[in-house]
Amino acid sequence: MAETEDRDDRREGYLTEAALEYHAYPRPGKVAIELTKPCNTQRELALAYTPGVAAPARAIAADPEAAYAYTAKGNLVAVVTDGSAVLGLGDVGPLAGKPVMEGKGVLFKRFAGIDVFDIEVEAPDPGDFVETVSRIACGFGGINLEDIAAPKCFEIERALVERLDIPVFHDDQHGTAIIIAAGLLNALELAGKRLEAVRIVCVGAGAAGIASMSLLESLGAPRGNILMVDRRGVVHAGREDLNPYKREVAAETPLRRLAEAVEGADVFIGVSGPDVLTPEMLRTMAERPIVFALSNPDPEIRPEVALATRPDVIMATGRSDYPNQVNNVLGFPFIFRGALDVRARRINRAMHVAAVHALRDLAREPVPREVLDAYQLERLEFGPDYILPKPLDPRLIETVAPAVARAAVESGVARLAPQPAARP
């Protein structure tokens, strides 16, 4: 174990230096604005700005929907943060969150061809944050909320969804939930278990944990079969320290400690911190246990430890160097792509569920050679080490985005009929 930790420390040092150089050269940052129309002659300049720009401005003043025809609104997403829960760094503030928001913009563009403005907001008060985003939202096709601490993230998202008529999506909640759900459905099938019958323990009762359990309920998991655990133990109805969002998921149970909760459980989902699940706890879980240890970079239990303890375990992590990475890039670019393509007014539960099933089904399809080559693999097929598609699978945009678009139309939140998806 000491050798593994030393190796991880050396790798982290190397990655730190490489990451700083990557972000600094040949020019600072990762994103820039590019022109989509020529502006090389006097005529083109007159069309791009004054006096020509007055024509689309008048058209939009007469009909706001014309903004989709004459501006970048329909393919533009605001990635917005207050910097209160940045990756594994915590409350580092909005400016320190900017590299992460730029990174999100890179992923939107790379995987779904979506343009992004990253917006960092100095607003410790949720009401101020909501007011700021509401006032700038008209220029965007959608709002991606990012790295906002719980519980205020719930209040912020709910308020913005109510106020705006464009999609608002908190990826730390729903993006994580969608990928977890897709992977879990496949893991359960491999384990010969049904979602309606398994016992689930989720460690981490913040944004990702609460949203994930809510989505699993929508897919058929009985609330009575779910236990949530936070730093103080099991989230139970007798606790007086629960915020309103934790109280909604509090269980009527005599269990108080994680070790008690996982005994006999079929599923462990960790969105908390390193080494929370001990080998001793894992041994007490049911046959063919499923463990999603998603704390990053250090999981709740390392896969090599879990497999040595329980060879029958199906394991997923948040890391790219282990099989079955639960990675939000499998979801949010294509969910927004589908929503933008039909000008959805919101991203609703039906669209979440459509994304889950699209991802679940894609992992069961034969893997094309270009994906194998991208990951330097000779073979990859549905099984315990492959329960989710790979992020570089080009079929994601052709599968997830149309499924989300159809769900938007069928659930009545779309302004347009779906069009065939194209690779970015």
Tens digit of each residue's pLDDT (9 = 90 or more) over 263-303: 999 999 999 999 999 999 999 999 999 999 999 889 999 99
Q: Is 352 a domain residue?
A: yes
The count of structural domains within the chain is: 2
The pLDDT assigned to 334 comes to 98
Q: Is 317 a domain residue?
A: no
The pLDDT assigned to 88 comes to 78
Q: Is 375 a domain residue?
A: yes
Rg (CA), the chain: 22
- Report, as ranges of residue numbers, the positions in the chain whose pLDDT lies below 70: 1-12, 418-424
The residue annotated as part of the active site, out of 104, 152, 193, 246, is 104
Q: Is 12 a domain residue?
A: yes
Residue 274: both structure tokens together: 């390193």
The pLDDT assigned to 15 comes to 84
Q: Is 388 a domain residue?
A: yes
The number of beta carbons lying within 10 Å of the beta carbon of residue 422 is 11
Q: Is 181 a domain residue?
A: no
The residue annotated as part of the active site, out of 14, 49, 70, 375, is 49
Q: Is 232 a domain residue?
A: no
Residues spanned by the domain of 6: 1-25
The pLDDT assigned to 10 comes to 59
Active-site residue 104, yes or no? yes
Q: Is 63 a domain residue?
A: no
Active-site residue 390, yes or no? no
